[in-house]
A and B are shown apart, each in its own frame.
Chain A
């Protein structure tokens, strides 16, 4: 029953979002350091009156439960609050930074997941030879290397090989499409290559498993060509674990994006959140983390749906 299946998953999603909203809310209030004192800045003379008036303005003088209910109530109606520092709605601030991060995630995921299938199939086909060993070493290296290190090394290498190539900073796509893609290339590679390495290993294992199955033998016995056996019969089954992994990876990619944005000086969501934590910008942290979490949950939800579409057994 697809409808019932959908409804169940949607209820799961709502519960997760509710739980996360409480965790996010409590967690940032547990970071040591009085937000209000920090907001007043290091050089201002702090008087109790000033602290009290700012605390009241921000609403931090009320009981935690009340603070949460007020925030959650407004969030449900689409109002996630205003940034403590700029006074702008946090939704605007997040929207201004979201594009860069989405582009980065999309490009690195396309690169990582897109190339992983042919790479994994190729690895499965050359299994056992010297090429297999070499490829396995390369992929293990690829999984082990952290993105920030890879990023810095790539910047250095490019600066030496092609000193004129613009690799730093950010240009909006609408303003200069070529310049934008040039500058996004290295960050996407830094973020995508480790994923390519781990996903292609996964495809290889799944393919080897599938190729040993009875139905593959049957297909071969029918006289089908090797190409057809691999891509039509084995790959389709091998893709199941792959799809799940891509979904989970998409979520974890965001963690990597924070670091890569630092290295490549990209004005994305990661830098926004890191900055907001530093300045104890509660409304902004709450909204940004909540949105990222919802994004993560929605991606997983979509993967579940996709999984059900590929494999009828899941729907039961």
Chain B
């Protein structure tokens, strides 16, 4: 009966399915974005939908996380490193048909800096004093002080039409950018559809007629959607999902080492983690390789403060003394700090399955080294609030990385940094971070960041755990897509579907 029904149904839909929109890429996407304004909504769920698809910045980042021209085709930097001049690409049009000019770039930068908009991205432009249009196709950025990572920082500052400078609502629902795809339709809890931007400046791009983000909360449903061909892509999935999809017919998996990391954060403003020896003990108690095996299916690497994906910057974890797994040493350090075993602490846990798994492994590892960790599984809103208010002993979480060390280090570890919820303060680190931000010589910056990494790895307020492999599952017919370590889907502009 069921079989007859299924046969009849499949016969019926043969007539419906064929030839309909074969060049729209169907994506199975897990989370509904909270909004699509590129300067206001900055969560991954928004970023993946708009970055490099709807919106572009003056510069861009390629799949190797290296800088390339974006809406600016070239730029010059003054000798004191305080003035940047950008030459804009000709023939760039917004999706509403108006040409993109220097005034739009100035308006976008001022919008991010505006107190009224309150953009979370403002910290990336903290050094910017002002922007001005020299002529219709030249923009000048003046900095208060030299800031080497500026060119990478502005890659994620989307350029919006100047008429949107003071807007707070429209762009959240109806984004207008310059990218290869224009926003077409958003059915809440159902899908977001983008259509080809016919006036796109890139020759022969995009190849697709459109992209549809189907919002599917249930992981098992997304998987079946891909294996049955309903969806052609599941972007940025975890190892567990990827392993289940591996080897299925007509499914291809691509992967890269992720920029995001898993971590244990420590509150250094109160006992026991105000004592650097206890933080060191915690690092000795951790077995990072085991975490990768036990909680990430072996798909990842132990890591320090910077992702090994940042080949130009990251220090090898072998150079961090406290990364040697050594419970006896951990116990000795606790004793030295005058603490009686077990040292009881509470760990808040981000409500995400991989983090919950990691937290349990960490709990077990610490138990062997004189700690007694109570796990506190929290609802997301509560977790964020406690995080922001520094209301924790320790927490397990994950965080997005940045292509340049400055962006992450400065806001997280500088005294008074905007995400320094650990209340960490170290004069030497502050000094190094200030200098490295201003220096323009790569070797000099590298030397300073090496020292920062070595200090933070063992004494810092974060025990960096692992960098996971990031996966994207594709139907065999999808061509030209490249996965990116920062979760951007910007290579959709080069993606096509074979008929």
By a beta-carbon cutoff of 8 Å, the part of chain A in contact with chain B is: 31-35, 37-38, 41-46, 50, 85-87, 93, 96-97, 152, 155-156, 158-159, 161-170, 178-179, 182, 262-265, 267-268, 271-272, 275, 278-280
Most buried by B among A42, A45, A182: A42
Task: For B10, list chain A residues within 8 Å (CB).
Answer: 161-165
What residues on A are CB-neighbors of B78 within 8 Å? none
Q: Tell me if B16 and A179 are in contact (CB < 8 A).
A: yes
In the complex, are the beta carbons of B34 and A166 less than 8 A apart?
A: no
Chain B residues with CB below 8 A from A50, complex form: 118
Partner among A87, A93, A262, A267 whose Cβ is within 8 Å of the Cβ of B169: A87
Lowest 10 CB-CB distances: which A-B pairs, in order?
A: A43-B120, A162-B10, A33-B381, A267-B189, A159-B228, A265-B216, A267-B190, A162-B6, A33-B382, A38-B381
Q: Are B418 and A280 in contact (CB under 8 A)?
A: no
Point out the residue from A46, A170, A182 that lies within 8 Å of B190, measured CB to CB.
A170
Among A96, A161, A262, A280, the most chain B Cβ lie within 10 Å of the Cβ of: A161
CA distance A96 to B220 in the complex (A): 26
Interface residues as binary, B212-235 with A (CB distance below 8 Å gives 1, 0 otherwise): 001111101100110111110000
16 pairs, A vs B, C-beta closer than 8 Å: A31-B379, A33-B382, A37-B388, A38-B381, A38-B385, A85-B35, A96-B188, A155-B220, A155-B224, A162-B6, A162-B13, A163-B229, A165-B6, A168-B225, A265-B214, A279-B34
Bound-complex Cα distance A283 to B448 (A): 51
Given contacts A272-B189, A275-B189, contact A168 B17 (CB under 8 A): no
Known: A96-B188, A152-B220, A265-B214. A163 touches B228 (CB 8 A): yes
Chain A residues positioned under 8 Å from B6 (CB to CB): 158, 161-162, 165
A280 contacts which chain B residues (CB < 8 A)?
381
Q: Which of B187, B218, B224, B380 contacts A262 (CB 8 A)?
A: B218
Q: Nearest-CB distance from B469 to chain A (Å)? A: 25
Q: Which residues of A contact B220 (CB under 8 A)?
A: 152, 155, 263
Q: Say yes or no: B13 contacts A262, CB within 8 Å.
A: no
* Contact A152–B7 (Cβ < 8 Å): no
B9 at the interface (CB under 8 A from A): yes
Please report the C-alpha to C-alpha distance between residue A34 and residue B382 in the assembled complex, in whole angstroms.
8
Measured in the bound complex, the distance between the Cα atoms of B14 and A166 in whole Å is 10
| 14 further interface pairs, Cβ-Cβ under 8 Å (given A43-B43, A97-B188, A162-B9) | A31-B379, A32-B382, A38-B381, A42-B43, A50-B118, A96-B188, A162-B6, A163-B10, A165-B6, A168-B231, A169-B230, A267-B190, A271-B217, A275-B189
Residue B274 lies at the interface, judged by CB distance under 8 Å to chain A: no
**With a CB–CB cut-off of 8 A, which chain B residues contact A158?**
6
Q: Does B173 contact A (CB under 8 A)?
A: yes
Tell me the complex Cα distance, A280–B42, Å.
19
Note all chain A residues with C-beta closer than 8 A to B216.
168-169, 265
B interface size (C-beta, 8 A):
50
Q: Which residues of B contact A43 (CB under 8 A)?
A: 42-43, 120
Interface membership of chain B positions 271-286, coded 1 if the CB is closer than 8 angstroms to chain A and 0 otherwise:
0000000000000000
Contact A264 B381 (CB under 8 A): no
Contacts of A178 in B (CB 8 A): 12, 16
Give the residues in chain A near B7, CB-CB below 8 Å. 162
When chains A and B are docked, how far (Å) is the Cα of A263 from the Cα of B41?
Answer: 26
Least CB distance, A273 to chain B, in whole angstroms: 11
Within 8 Å by CB of A165, from B9, B42, B122, B188, lies B9
B229 x A86 contact (CB < 8 A): no
Say yes or no: is B84 at the interface (Cβ < 8 Å to chain A).
Answer: no
Shortest Cβ distance from A100 into chain B, in angstroms? 9
B408 in the interface (beta carbon within 8 A):
no
Cβ B189 vs Cβ A97 within 8 A: yes
Bound-complex Cα distance A75 to B287 (A): 57
The complex places the Cα of A267 from the Cα of B123 at a distance, in Å, of 36
A38, B384: Cβ atoms closer than 8 Å = yes
- The reply to whether A275 and B32 form a contact with Cβ atoms under 8 Å apart is yes
Q: B13, A159: Cβ atoms under 8 Å?
A: no
Complex interface: chain A residues within 8 A of B384 (CB): 33, 37-38, 42
CA distance A271 to B227 in the complex (A): 25
* B320 CB–A CB distance under 8 Å: no
Q: Please state if B379 and A32 are interface contacts (CB–CB under 8 Å).
A: yes
Q: CA separation between A266 and B379, bound complex, in Å?
A: 23
In the assembly, what is the distance between CA of A168 and CA of B212, in Å? Answer: 14
B499 located at the interface, meaning its Cβ lies under 8 Å from any Cβ of chain A in the complex: no
Q: Tell me the bound Cα distance from A178 to B16 in angstroms.
A: 9
Query: In the complex the two chains form, is A169's CB within 8 Å of B214's CB?
Result: yes
Query: Cβ of B34 and Cβ of A263 under 8 Å apart?
Result: no
Interface string of B357-380 (1 = CB under 8 A from A): 000000000000000000000011
Instruction: Judge whether B214 and A182 touch: CB under 8 Å.
Output: no
- Please tell me if the beta carbons of A267 and B188 are within 8 angstroms of each other in the complex: yes
Q: How far is the CA of A153 from the CA of B220 in the complex (A)?
A: 10
Say whether A262 contacts B43, CB under 8 Å: no
Contacts of B201 in A (CB 8 A): none
Report chain B residues within 8 Å CB of A170. Answer: 190
Closest to A35 in B: B381
- CB-CB under 8 A from B163, the residues of chain A are none
Q: Are B224 and A263 in contact (CB under 8 A)?
A: no
Which of chain B's residues have a CB closer than 8 A to the CB of A162?
6-7, 9-10, 13
Tell me if B318 is interfacial: C-beta within 8 Å of chain A.
no
Contacting residues, chain B, for A35 (C-beta < 8 A): 381
